[in-house]
Each structure stands twice: as structure tokens, then as C-alpha cells.
Amino acid sequence: MVAAVRPADHRPAADRRGARTRPGPATADRRRPAGAGRGGTARAGDDPTLPGSGMHEWIARHVWRSRAESAPDKWRRLSFLLEVDGDVAGSQDLKASDFPQLRIVESASWLGERFRGTGLGKAMRAMVLHFAFQALDATAAETESEEHNDAALGVTRSLGYQPCGDRYAQRVDRIDHMLWSRLTRERWALLRNGYGLDEVGISGAERCLPMLGLGETR
């Protein structure tokens, strides 16, 4: 498996076999999610984890809202799209507050139902971790998952994260127990060769660093 990061609209992208992760560019609103019907509307029953209609528009709003609300000292979300054979199969996000000082990123993701259990969830997280540690010089990456989300927790454990806390989140109809995990740069460096990505390269990242509060060089 080879992952290559290429410049896309002055922002990095990454490939793994037939899949590609790239920050959602201006063309994000012209790509249909896998399983979407004409006009980008999800067919009923395709994926219960996303809105039953208007999924195409939901992804576009997510990307553009994240950009509009981000600043160099606080990235609301740096959104990467996962593409499989030209379809949007999922997304992987990074966010951070005071990153130039703290050097800590937080990740979040969504993967289309029919792509789960294929290893793509782990691969796209591994690619974004490589970007965070190698291109952005992060010192740690954190993530949180619901206690009952075994798939997300499995990916987190397989990448070497360690538990670092928990919290309770109030939802509309329930209270969720959220588990926090952290992966340090040192631990990532020890474990990265076991992630299943034979080669990862990054190009074009230096042009986006000023937008992330990092100047032109690390």
C-alpha cells in the first residue's frame, strides 16, 4: 500500500490504493458521496449515520462552515475528504486551539457505512497523523469516542493511542460517556511503521502553513 500526498488547491492530499484523502477544496460541493442518488441526495437506508436526504449539501456546508470559522490560532476543522474511485466515502478532520504554542491536534472522522471494516478508517487516520506530526510538527494527537463506539475505539487502539481521560456529553435524548485518548509524537515515531502504509510523502504543505499560524516554515 502506498500513500502519496500531492498538492491540491495549495493544500495537501493523500492516496492509499484506490482511496485518496485530501482537504475539501472548492470542488467538494461538486462531488457526490458514495451511495448518493442524482443531485447528491442519499437514498433511504444507505447510511443511517448521516441525514436521510441532502447528504451532498450537508458535506459541502460542513467543509465551508469549518473554513469560515477557522483562524490561525483556532482551526475549527481542517477537513480532509476520503475518496474511493471518485466518490466521497468519508471525512477525516483535524482541529486545534493555540496550535503554534501547544502543538496538539484533535481528530474526528466519519466513514460511510459500506466502507467500514475494510481498513480505510485506520488508513485515513494514519495519513492525517502523518500530516500532523511530519508536516505540522505536532507533539500529540488526541481523539474522543463514545464508549460504545467499538469501531472508532478499535482504530484508536490499533494506532497506539493511550487513554487520557473521559467526560459525559449531554445529547438531546441521552447522556454519552466519551473516552479521550492521546498519541504522542514519540509513540507515533515508534509505531508508525506498523500502520500498513508502506510509503507516505508530503508536498505542498508549506503553502498552507501561514493559514495555520505556522509561518512559511516549521
pLDDT-derived band of residue 3, with 50, 70 and 90 as boundaries? very low
Query: For the residues 49-64, what does the mean pLDDT come to?
Result: 63
Fold of 2-144+184-212: Aminopeptidase (3.40.630)
Give residue limits of the domains in the chain. 2-144+184-212
The total of other beta-carbon atoms located within 10 Å of residue 66's CB is 17
pLDDT-derived band of residue 171, with 50, 70 and 90 as boundaries? confident
pLDDT value, residue 12: 42
pTM assigned to the model? 0.74
Distance CA 11, CA 26 (A): 11
